[in-house]
Structure 1
Amino acid sequence: MMETKQQMDKLILKKAGHIWKEIGQHKKPEELQIEIEIYKKMLNLFQVGDYCYFVFSPPELRMEHINESVTELLGYTKEEFVFETFLKIIHPDDIQQYLNFEATITQFWQSLPPEKVFKYKTRYDFRIRCKDGTIKRLLQQVAVIQSDDDGAVLRTFVIFTDITDLKQSNKMVLSIMGLEGEPSYIDIQPVQALVPHKSILSKREIEIFRLLVDECQSADIAETLGISPHTVATHRKNIFKKTGTNSVLQLVKLGLEKGWI
Structure 2
Amino acid sequence: MTLLAFQEAKEIWQKAAYYQEASPLDLALELQIHRKLLNVFQVGPYYYYFFNVSTGEIEHTSDAVQKVLGCPPEAFSVPYAFSHMHPEDLPYFIQFERKVTEFFRQLTPSQALQYKVSYDFRIRRTNGVYIRILHQVVTLEVGAPGSVLRTLGIHTDISAFKQAGTPTLSLIGMEGQPSYLNVATDSVGLPSKPVLTLREKQVLSAIMLGKASKQIADLFSITKETVDRHRKNMLEKTQTHSTAELVAKALQEGWV
TM score, norm. by length of structure 1? 0.91
**5 Å matches for 1:26-105?**
26-33=19-26, 34-45=30-41, 47-105=42-100
Give the partner amino acid of 1:90: M
Instruction: Tell me, in whole angstroms, the C-alpha distance in 1 between the residues paired with 2:255 and 2:247.
Output: 9
Q: What CA deviation, in whole Å up to 9, does each residue of 1:75-106 have, x standing for no partner? A: 11122212211111111001001100010111
Residues 213 and 251 in structure 1, CA contact (< 8 A), matched pair in contact too: no
Residues 113 and 151 in structure 1, CA contact (< 8 A), matched pair in contact too: yes
**5 Å matches for 1:33-182?**
33=26, 34-45=30-41, 47-182=42-177
> How far 1:109 sits from its partner (Å)?
0.9
Residues 122 and 141 in structure 1, CA contact (< 8 A), matched pair in contact too: yes
> How far 1:61 sits from its partner (Å)?
1.2
Query: Over the residues paired in the alignment, what is the CA RMSD in angstroms?
Result: 1.7
Give the partner amino acid of 2:5: I
CA 249–39 in structure 1, closer or farther in 2 if over 3 Å, else same: same
**5 Å matches for 1:171-250?**
171-250=166-245
Instruction: Tell me, in whole angstroms, the C-alpha distance in 1 between the residues paired with 2:36 and 2:106.
Output: 24
Give the partner amino acid of 1:173: T
Instruction: Tell me, in whole angstroms, the C-alpha distance in 1 between the residues paired with 2:34 and 2:220.
Output: 23
Task: Specify the alignment match of 2:250 in structure 1.
Answer: 255
Q: What CA deviation, in whole Å up to 9, does each residue of 1:156-202 have, x standing for no partner? A: 00000001121122211100000001111000011434222213434
Give the partner amino acid of 2:83: K
Instruction: Tell me, in whole angstroms, the C-alpha distance in 1 between the residues paired with 2:89 and 2:144.
Output: 34
Residues 115 and 151 in structure 1, CA contact (< 8 A), matched pair in contact too: no
Q: What CA deviation, in whole Å up to 9, does each residue of 1:89-136 have, x standing for no partner? A: 111001001100010111111110111110000100000111221111
SS at match of 1:111: coil
Task: Specify the alignment match of 1:20 in structure 2.
Answer: 13
Give the partner amino acid of 1:222: A
SS at match of 2:10: helix
Residues 117 and 144 in structure 1, CA contact (< 8 A), matched pair in contact too: yes
> How far 1:38 sits from its partner (Å)?
2.6
> How far 1:18 sits from its partner (Å)?
0.6
CA 108–44 in structure 1, closer or farther in 2 if over 3 Å, else same: farther
> How far 1:255 sits from its partner (Å)?
1.0
Residues 201 and 255 in structure 2, CA contact (< 8 A), matched pair in contact too: no
> How far 1:9 sits from its partner (Å)?
2.7
Residues 56 and 64 in structure 1, CA contact (< 8 A), matched pair in contact too: yes
Residues 41 and 157 in structure 1, CA contact (< 8 A), matched pair in contact too: no
Q: What CA deviation, in whole Å up to 9, does each residue of 1:30-64 have, x standing for no partner? A: 1142122331432443x222111100001111112
Q: What CA deviation, in whole Å up to 9, does each residue of 1:121-153 have, x standing for no partner? A: 010000011122111110000000111253521
> How far 1:225 sits from its partner (Å)?
1.9
